[in-house]
Amino acid sequence: MEYGYDLIVVGGGVLGTFHAYHALKHGFKVALIEKDRTPQGATVRNFGQVVPSGMNSKWQTYGRESLRIYKEIQETFDISVRQEGSVYFASDEEEEQLLEELYQINQENQYSSQLLTKAKCMERYGGLRKDYVKAGLFFPEEVMVEPRVMINRLHCYLKAVGLDLFLHKTVIECNKLSEGIEVYLSDGTTLTSAKVIICNGSDFKTLYPQLFNESDLKVSKIQMMQTKPQGHFVLPSSILTGLSIRRYEAFSECPSYAAIKAKEDADSPVKKWGVHILFKQAMNGSVIIGDSHEYADADHIDDLNMDLKMDIDNFILQEAKKIIDLPTYEIQNRWFGLYSQCKTSDIYQHTIKNDIHIVTGIGGKGMTGSAGFAKENINNIFNLQHA
Ligand SMILES: Cc1cc2nc3c(=O)[nH]c(=O)nc-3n(C[C@H](O)[C@H](O)[C@H](O)COP(=O)(O)OP(=O)(O)OC[C@H]3O[C@@H](n4cnc5c(N)ncnc54)[C@H](O)[C@@H]3O)c2cc1C
């Protein structure tokens, strides 16, 4: 049978788009179908921090490959990648200890990082509060992107190298035939393909709702803010702080981590709202500040109240002001994003009748891990030699 495509990817977020990217690199005929006119999901609502340093060893490997891929694309097509590095600031001796241990782990992994003294942190990062920072750990290879720009430019780039991109079309059903798959779109079009990969993010109501309702997927709601532009003030690097050191998976591989976590107050607002403080300066000079985490199971996504909770925003700002004196903390935008993740594994993968592959639940690591992970996953799905 002749199929219209070798691969149809459902979902034009970062995970689906990088699956399309790698399939195109292998010379396949690929269609990417996105239900909105431009993606509206987690991929355009995040910080745009590409931080393999925060991942466990497995996902650091994917993240490091993603760094290489982002930089390679940026060399030929501007997708808003900036290599400004990432820095973690410790606020007490426990966090400083974890930075030193992570530095050792990265030495062994041959991943470049530099320990920074308090004085060096103060010298490099204007506005950083002397009464907050004890030490820093800097990752020079890491990049940031402008999420709302990156994905649309990546789509343009892929179209130029042969992708068929269908925007504002929802895939409403996939039907496996004796050979190949029919894919039905909301406008009445039917496409055919040898394989389908579904990267639906946190949309669990359109395709296979029963499967998702019975899965161990949950959804995280994250509140974010953006200040007004900061004039001439420059905040280089992605900034991650003490609470991120206490939260990110990379640090769970440090010898002292378990003992340090055991001492934390389980009833604090930090724990109640899943808060850690991150800063990233956007290209227009504003600073993006976040974030918090509230959870619901996949079949109870509607329980995540769609309002922004001002108590959470006020707490994030109160903590942020203890870390960096920005020229202005006047907020010009507030939003939330949703991402899906599994309770028991690092990503959700389910295959239907050999050729329909669902891949979602990448959690809070999608901007960092997707490009590298999708490369390996395309090799697995098409039984290709691993490069
Ligand atoms: C606030 C926030 C901050 C974050 N910060 C970072 C960060 O700094 N660094 C990092 O690495 N990660 C970060 N993340 C995580 C990252 O954004 C996600 O892991 C990633 O965007 C998930 O990508 P995705 O493609 O799986 O999902 P999505 O971006 O949600 O994309 C799924 C797409 O599928 C489409 N779709 C669904 N069903 C259909 C259908 N039936 N037909 C057609 N289209 C369909 C949707 O419209 C959507 O565009 C953050 C997330 C949030 C929410």
Q: In this structure, are 72 and 103 located in the same domain?
A: no
The gap from C-alpha 357 to its chain's centroid, in whole angstroms, comes to 21
Out of 154, 164, 367, 373, mutate this one to test ligand 1's pocket (max ligand atoms within 8 Å of CB): namely 367
Q: How far is the CA of 145 from the centre of ligand 1 (A)?
A: 14
Whether 270 contacts 238, CB under 8 Å: no
294 lines ligand 1 (CB under 6 A): no
295-299: long-range pairs with CB below 8 Å, 24+: 295/218, 295/219, 295/220, 295/221, 296/218, 296/219, 296/221, 297/217, 297/218, 297/219, 298/202, 298/204, 298/212, 298/213, 298/215, 298/217, 298/218, 298/219, 298/340, 299/204, 299/212, 299/213
Out of 33, 43, 55, mutate this one to test ligand 1's pocket (max ligand atoms within 8 Å of CB): namely 43
- Spell out, as residue ranges, where the chain has pLDDT lower than 50: none
Q: How far is the CA of 13 from the centre of ligand 1 (A)?
A: 5
Q: How far is the CA of 146 from the centre of ligand 1 (A)?
A: 14
Query: Atom 33 of ligand 1 has which residue's CA nearest to it?
Result: 11
Q: In this structure, are 6 and 131 located in the same domain?
A: no
Q: In this structure, are 387 and 266 located in the same domain?
A: no
Q: For residue 297, say if its preceding peptide bond is cis, omega within 30 degrees of 0.
A: no
Q: In this structure, are 234 and 334 located in the same domain?
A: yes
201 lines ligand 1 (CB under 6 A): yes
d(CA 51, CA 279): 13
Q: In this structure, are 71 and 198 located in the same domain?
A: yes
Q: Which domain holds residue 107?
A: 86-140+217-343
Q: In this structure, are 50 and 11 located in the same domain?
A: yes
d(CA 71, CA 9): 23
Q: In this structure, are 211 and 318 located in the same domain?
A: no
Which CATH number belongs to the domain containing residue 24 in this structure?
3.50.50.60
Q: In this structure, are 185 and 196 located in the same domain?
A: yes
Give the per-residue pLDDT at 125: 97
191 lines ligand 1 (CB under 6 A): no
Give the per-residue pLDDT at 128: 98
279 lines ligand 1 (CB under 6 A): no
13 lines ligand 1 (CB under 6 A): yes
Q: In this structure, are 265 and 312 located in the same domain?
A: yes
The tally of domains found in the chain comes to: 2
372 lines ligand 1 (CB under 6 A): no
203 lines ligand 1 (CB under 6 A): yes
Q: In this structure, are 167 and 66 located in the same domain?
A: yes
Q: In this structure, are 362 and 337 located in the same domain?
A: no
Other CB atoms within 10 Å distance of the CB of residue 387: 8
Give the per-residue pLDDT at 306: 87
* CA pseudo-torsion sign 147, 153, 158, 164: positive
Whether 143 contacts 82, CB under 8 Å: yes
Query: Atom 3 of ligand 1 has which residue's CA nearest to it?
Result: 46
Give the per-residue pLDDT at 2: 64
Q: How far is the CA of 49 from the centre of ligand 1 (A)?
A: 14
Out of 200, 249, 357, mutate this one to test ligand 1's pocket (max ligand atoms within 8 Å of CB): namely 200
Q: How far is the CA of 42 from the centre of ligand 1 (A)?
A: 3
Structure tokens at 199: 């990267």
Q: In this structure, are 228 and 333 located in the same domain?
A: yes
Give the per-residue pLDDT at 288: 98
All residues at 6 or more sequence positions from 373 whose CB lies less than 8 Å from its CB, including other chains: 15, 18, 59, 62, 66, 347, 362
Give the per-residue pLDDT at 226: 98
**174-194 pLDDT tens trace:** 999 998 999 999 999 999 999
66 lines ligand 1 (CB under 6 A): no
Q: How far is the CA of 353 from the centre of ligand 1 (A)?
A: 26
Which CATH number belongs to the domain containing residue 277 in this structure?
3.30.9.10
For residue 175, give the 3-state DSSP assignment.
Answer: strand
Q: How far is the CA of 259 from the centre of ligand 1 (A)?
A: 34
Give the per-residue pLDDT at 1: 55
Length of the chain: 387
